[in-house]
């Protein structure tokens, strides 16, 4: 089973949070606040926080800019993962993924099912890698953000987490990009 190896030093990451919403402002954004609070409490650095409307081009532009920024290791989005006409976050971001992380969605839905039952199927939570930046796409509720962070991301973004974690593979994330150029 997983554990924290106390002999390993914690490595703080730069994490950006993007809220996707047509109906709230940054000041009213409880989901983004939940993520920001948890990021800071874990010892990571909040690299940036923004809110954009449910517009695929704006979502893609913001996440792409962060993926190219040297101080951002991880992007977490909240909102726009449902099935209504305005829910376009996965549609905007999945085409940008160099690699998809199908396991994230599976584990997120497993955790969510224990809390909200079959209603979890109304989310298109997803994740992937853009260049060397991890991108996690969460639903827009504070509860879903808590589930995603507490149940998955807090461990996987902690270098001390065993048997494995994302931090320890970060130095090798650009191997697929180097091969493509060769």
Largest alpha-carbon pair distance within the chain? 49
- What pLDDT shows up at residue 60? 98
Structure-token pair, residue 146: 């808590």
3-state secondary structure of 104: helix
21 touches 54 (CB < 8 A): yes
State the residue for tokens 């990009």.
177
Domain annotation covers residue 149: yes
Q: Where are the alpha helices (DSSP H) in the chain?
A: 30-42, 56-68, 89-93, 102-116, 142-148, 154-156, 175-181
Range of the domain at 118: 11-181
As a whole number, the mean pLDDT across the chain is 95
Structure-token pair, residue 39: 């990021």
Domain annotation covers residue 28: yes
- Whether pLDDT at 181 is above 90: no
Count the helix, strand and coil residues of the chain and give each as a percent rounded to the nearest 5: 45, 20, 30
Domain annotation covers residue 2: no
Domain annotation covers residue 3: no
Which domain CATH number covers 80? Answer: 3.40.980.10
pLDDT digits (tens, 9 = 90+) for 121-158: 999 999 999 999 999 999 999 999 999 999 999 999 99
Domain annotation covers residue 26: yes
Q: Which positions ≥6 away from 127 have C-beta within 8 Å?
A: 100, 101, 104, 105, 134, 135, 136, 137
Domain annotation covers residue 119: yes
- What pLDDT shows up at residue 179? 66
pLDDT digits (tens, 9 = 90+) for 78-127: 999 999 999 999 999 999 999 999 999 999 999 999 999 999 999 999 99
- What pLDDT shows up at residue 6? 85
Domain annotation covers residue 4: no
Domain annotation covers residue 117: yes
User: What is the distance between the alpha carbons of residues 168 and 182, in angstroms, rounded to a whole number?
Assistant: 25
pLDDT digits (tens, 9 = 90+) for 18-65: 999 999 999 999 999 999 999 999 999 999 999 999 999 999 999 999
Domain count within the chain: 1
- What pLDDT shows up at residue 178? 73
Confidence band (pLDDT; 50, 70, 90) for 182? Answer: low
User: What is the distance between the alpha carbons of residues 163 and 24, in angstroms, rounded to a whole number?
Assistant: 39
């Amino acid at each position: 089973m997983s554990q924290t190896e106390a002999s390993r030093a914690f490595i703080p990451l730069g994490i950006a949070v993007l809220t996707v919403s047509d109906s709230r402002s940054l000041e009213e954004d409880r989901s983004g606040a939940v993520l920001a609070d948890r990021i800071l409490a874990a010892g990571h650095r909040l690299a940036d926080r923004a809110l954009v409307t449910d517009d695929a081009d704006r979502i893609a532009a913001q996440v792409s800019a962060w993926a190219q920024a040297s101080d951002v290791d991880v992007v977490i989005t909240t909102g726009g993962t449902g099935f209504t006409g305005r829910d376009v976050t996965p549609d905007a971001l999945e085409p940008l993924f160099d690699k998809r992380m199908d396991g994230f969605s599976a584990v997120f839905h497993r955790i969510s099912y224990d809390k909200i039952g079959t209603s979890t199927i109304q989310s298109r939570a997803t994740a992937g890698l853009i260049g060397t930046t991890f991108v996690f796409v969460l639903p827009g509720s504070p509860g879903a953000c808590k589930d995603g962070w507490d149940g998955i991301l807090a461990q996987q973004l902690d270098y001390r987490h065993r048997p494995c974690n994302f931090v320890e593979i970060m130095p090798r994330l650009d191997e697929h990009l180097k091969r493509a150029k060769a």
